[in-house]
Amino acid sequence: MTGIKGKVIALTGASSGIGEVTATYLAGRGARLVLGARREDRLNAVVDRITAQGGSAVGVVVDVAHREDLKRLTDTGVDRFGRLDVLVSNAGTMAVSPFDELRQDDWDAMVATHITGLLNGIGAALPIFRRQRSGQFVNVASTAAYVVTSPLAVYAATKTAVKVLTEGLRQESGPDLRVTLVSPGFTDTEGVGKGGSPEAAAALLQQRAEIAMPPSAVASAIGYAIEQPDGVDISEIVVRPTVQA
């Protein structure tokens, strides 16, 4: 298969930000979408908007930290549309803070969402992709996987894990599967600093106002990786605002 049209794409973190805009972008190009997130009202609003514009989308309330939720998400693709072509693992949390604040629940959430969540997606989609002898993982990391800045160490560590897991998966994926890492820089979304320490959040919000790029920049990078022919793997994309150091 080449292109986006007709592909069945499951996407986590679809209720806002990069995930929401990517879902709309892919729907506009004819993808059939299975969208996951925890906030049902926000998720339903995205599904309704896509459907009203003539697109095809179904929402599944998922917490990516729960293995069975990811299985429900990927199985919905197979049950509703007969197959699954792509899993975009995008769900994430940017509740960053200095270590001394000991915000251990936030540390746990970043590990659960970025690492366990990614592994749950691999566990759910890999058997389907193997059975079909085709499929693509698109994993969203961050430029924080390349450069550690304070107070983003836990976030950076978990996004580095996303990068490492993606490369390992790519090496094991064989000739039938494609594995893509997309690492955005500063992007204008509601998630920037959300839930983090007030000081860290304020600094990130100021940076967002000054340098962030629109989420559509990430959506089109994800679309580019998906639209390549079967035998072509876009392994890694880093997309950042020009003004980001």
Ligand X SMILES: NC(=O)c1ccc[n+]([C@@H]2O[C@H](COP(=O)([O-])OP(=O)(O)OC[C@H]3O[C@@H](n4cnc5c(N)ncnc54)[C@H](OP(=O)(O)O)[C@@H]3O)[C@@H](O)[C@H]2O)c1
Please, which residue, 29 or 194, has the CB nearer to ligand X?
194
Instruction: By CB under 6 A, name the binding residues for ligand X.
Output: 12-19, 37-39, 42, 62-65, 90-94, 113, 140, 142, 184, 186-187, 189-192, 194
Is 155 among the residues known to form the active site? yes
**Identity of the residue, 128 or 144, whose beta carbon is nearer to ligand X in the bound complex:** 144
- Least distance in Å: CB of 154 to ligand X? 12
To ligand X, the closest distance from the beta carbon of 140 in angstroms equals 5
Give whichever of 18 and 128 is closer to ligand X, judged by the CB atom.
18
Q: What does the alpha-carbon distance between residue 52 and residue 175 come to, in Å, rounded to a whole number?
A: 38
Q: Pick between residue 12 and residue 74 the one whose CB is nearest to ligand X.
A: 12
Task: Check the CA dihedral 146-147-148-152 and report its sign.
Answer: negative
User: Shortest Cβ distance from residue 223 to ligand X (Å)?
Assistant: 15
C-alpha to C-alpha distance for 108 and 15, rounded to whole angstroms: 21
3-state secondary structure of 5: coil
The residue from 25, 146, 155, 224 that is catalytic is 155
Could you tell me where the DSSP H helices lie in the chain? 17-28, 40-52, 67-81, 104-110, 117-132, 153-172, 198-211, 216-227
> How far lies 30's CA from each of 138, 184, 201, 222, in Å?
18, 24, 37, 15
Q: Which residues are catalytic?
A: 155
